[in-house]
Amino acid sequence: MELPSLPPAFLQLLDAVVPASDRAAVDHSYTTLHWTSFRLNPLKGHPEDTLAELTAHPALTPQAVEGVDGVFTVPPEQREQLTHHPAAGDGRLYIQGLSSMAAVWALDPQPGEEILDLAAAPGGKTSYIAARMQGQGRLAAVEPVKARFHRLKANLQRLGAGHVHTYLKDGVIVGRLTPQRFDRVLLDAPCSSEAQFTRLDPESWAHWSPKKVKDSARLQSKLIRSAYQALKPGGVLLYSTCSLSPEENELVVDGLLREQADVTVEPVALPQPLPQRAGLLHWQGQALAPALAHAVRILPSAHTDAFFLCRLRKAA
Ligand code: SAM
């Protein structure tokens, strides 16, 4: 049976942003179930005991992801068993896409630092940052949508990260409230969620439209300025989205670069080689900042969702 086609406007976007040599693999990724990745959570139980329990399960064959401690994948047909495993229920492991984890790898949080997650719910990245901080330092997480805020708090409790300071606030005003305060800021911005599209489920794009992309871009531009204002001199800002649209990615960063003389774009060195391409330097006839070549576009594949990452540093 023929699968439903992706929306025409989205296909045009793929034509424009995916290199021709990657296009067949990208198209194929929309037609198949993907591998499921997860990380062992050192804030809950002992990772080696959790892994022993998983490998003893007759239906699970976790494969270690090279270069990153405590991260594993299972093939698509094992997703159900993994999701229902007691360790997933009680927070000893957390199911999270490799692209999503890559935002935390690129942020590179350190124990003892003061860190802000400016768009935090449901808390997948917040809890990973907390794990990497090993209980040392201070982590603040912001989320303005009430139901999502409560879900964030519940998830952090379940994942052994109840010590994270949570704030029910609009991220746009946080920079003004806490200027130059944080060593690192993660802005995993609200976006048009293009990464969730799959031809196996037309509902996956039911809420998407070019207008949603424009509206998201407007909010992202405000949030990135707030995130930048909250950053200490010398601090690192990691901007990410699960969108493929340049309006939500390179153009948002380009806007900040045009305004702020004291910001640089740093290369993102991911510990695990993911299918990735450099940020775009042109869009619809407009030249963008050459430094955007350091931004990373993770391509959708059997192991990854589409993702955009850009690591910025404020001059010391
Ligand atoms: N980082 C999260 C994770 O890994 O679990 C996912 C974040 S999701 C992509 C973006 C979040 O931003 C959503 O929870 C959304 O409700 C929130 N958001 C929407 N508007 C916002 C605003 N004005 N300020 C801060 N966050 C906002």
pLDDT of residue 271: 83
Q: How far, in Å, CA of 38 to CA of 285, rounded?
A: 40
CATH number for the domain that contains residue 300: 3.40.50.150
Asked whether the beta carbons of 185 and 237 are under 8 A apart, the reply is: yes
> Do 81 and 181 lie in a common domain?
no
Residue owning the nearest CA to atom 24 of ligand 1 = 171
On whether residue 1 sits in a domain, the answer given is no
Q: What is the domain range of residue 52?
A: 34-95
> Do 165 and 26 lie in a common domain?
yes
Where on the phi/psi map is residue 183: left (φ > 0), alpha (ψ -120 to 50), or beta?
alpha
CATH number for the domain that contains residue 72: 3.30.70.1170
- pLDDT, the chain, mean: 97
> Do 89 and 111 lie in a common domain?
no
pLDDT of residue 195: 87
Structural domain count, the chain: 2
273: preceding bond cis by omega (within 30 degrees):
no
Q: pLDDT at residue 272 above 90? A: no
- Band (pLDDT 50/70/90 cuts) for residue 266 is very high
Any ligand 1 atom below 6 A from CB of 88: no
DSSP per residue, 282-296 = EETTEE--GGGGGSE
> Do 130 and 57 lie in a common domain?
no
> Do 128 and 84 lie in a common domain?
no
On whether residue 205 sits in a domain, the answer given is yes
On whether residue 287 sits in a domain, the answer given is yes
Pocket-testing residue among 100, 143, 149, 221, ligand 1, by greatest number of atoms within 8 A of Cβ: 143
pLDDT tens column, 108-133: 999 999 999 999 999 999 999 999 99
